[in-house]
Amino acid sequence: MSILPKHIFVIVPSYNEGTVIGKILEELVTQEVRVVVVDDGSADETAEIALGYPVYVLKHPFNLGQGAALQTGMTFALRQPDCRYLVTFDADGQHDPQDIFRLVDALEKSNVEVALGTRFGDEARLSGIRKSRYWVLKLATWLTKLLTRLEVSDTHNGVRAFTAPAARRIHLTQNRMSHASEILAQISKLKMTYMEVPVTVRYTPYSMQKGQSIWNAIDIVWDTLVGGLK
């Protein structure tokens, strides 16, 4: 079965990305995909700018966090009758739109349920990463591997692809950044088949500033431990 490109839904969670969202949407709308922008209650013009492109725009009435925005996009996409693949994609311009097809191809060819982008698959593809960030990411990866027992090399990469049936089984409840670990935890718990695909991460001054710091790492550990209290 060949891929009918418009069956790929690209979910772009965005929060106060007004300065860059237009640029990334310009790149995305040239691809044969459907784009779902989830504006997570931005205070700036993010949603208004996105409305200028042929994309679906969903707007949270208030800020809930990136995990919540991703789940909103996934829930919406799964309600569309022609949705077969879901790809998550960060709004800050750090990803390459071509990687969407690398991931979906991997799903098709390898018959796995989830394809995870990794920036460590091929060290040469890392452009401009800071030393401290490299080690924070390595540490996060090591911790997540320990907790989920998945063999992954990059746990906090924003590009991931799911088949629709797989995405339907995933329910993100961690609203903030911990969703990255939560996705992996659910892949592990639900015994989903997965593979890693090397992707490009473009480190621009903007994405560096928006990216995760050591403080986020502490938040993620807190959310993972305390967020489960019911």
Partner 1 sequence: MLYILRLKNLTSIRILIVLLLGLGMLFVFMPELTTKLANMVGFGRGADLILYLLVIFNLYYFVYTLGEQNRLLKMVTLAAREIAILKAQAGEGESLAEKGQGGDDGPEGRWYHGAA
- Binding residue for partner 1 (CB under 8 A) from 14, 42, 66, 71? 71
Long-range pairs for 41-46: beta carbons < 8 A, 24 or more residues apart: 41/15, 42/14, 42/15, 42/16, 42/17, 42/18, 43/16, 44/16, 44/17, 44/18, 45/18, 46/14, 46/15, 46/16, 46/17, 46/18, 46/21
Nearer residue to partner 1 within complex by CB, 28 or 106: 28
What's the CA gap between 167 and 78, in Å, rounded? 8
Q: Does 164 bind partner 1 (CB under 8 A)?
A: no
Nearer residue to partner 1 within complex by CB, 85 or 120: 85
Phi, psi of 46 (to 5 degrees): -50, -50
CB of 56 to partner 1, least distance (A): 6
Q: Does 60 bind partner 1 (CB under 8 A)?
A: yes
Q: Does 179 bind partner 1 (CB under 8 A)?
A: no
User: Smallest Cα–Cα separation from 72: which of 157, 9, 163, 3?
Assistant: 9
Q: Which residues contact 18 (CB under 8 A, 6 or more apart)?
A: 42, 44, 45, 46, 49
Q: Does 225 bind partner 1 (CB under 8 A)?
A: no
Q: Does 190 bind partner 1 (CB under 8 A)?
A: no
Nearer residue to partner 1 within complex by CB, 20 or 103: 20
- Binding residue for partner 1 (CB under 8 A) from 38, 100, 136, 201? 38
Total residues binding partner 1 (CB under 8 A): 29
In order of 2, 43, 89, 93, 189, the CA distances from 158 in angstroms are: 26, 22, 6, 11, 20
Stretch of 53-61, 107-115, 119-127, 182-190 lying at the interface with partner 1 (CB under 8 A):
53-61
- Binding residue for partner 1 (CB under 8 A) from 50, 115, 116, 183? 50
First to last CA, the chain: 43
CB of 225 to partner 1, least distance (A): 11
Q: Does 72 bind partner 1 (CB under 8 A)?
A: yes
Stretch of 12-20, 49-57, 118-126, 145-153 lying at the interface with partner 1 (CB under 8 A):
49-57
Stretch of 67-75, 93-101, 111-119, 206-214 lying at the interface with partner 1 (CB under 8 A):
67-75
Q: Does 61 bind partner 1 (CB under 8 A)?
A: yes
What's the CA gap between 144 and 155, in Å, rounded? 7
In order of 15, 96, 166, 219, the CA distances from 102 in angstroms are: 26, 10, 18, 32
* Residues making contact with partner 1 (CB under 8 A): 38, 47-48, 50-62, 64, 68, 71-72, 75-76, 79, 173, 175, 226-227, 229-230
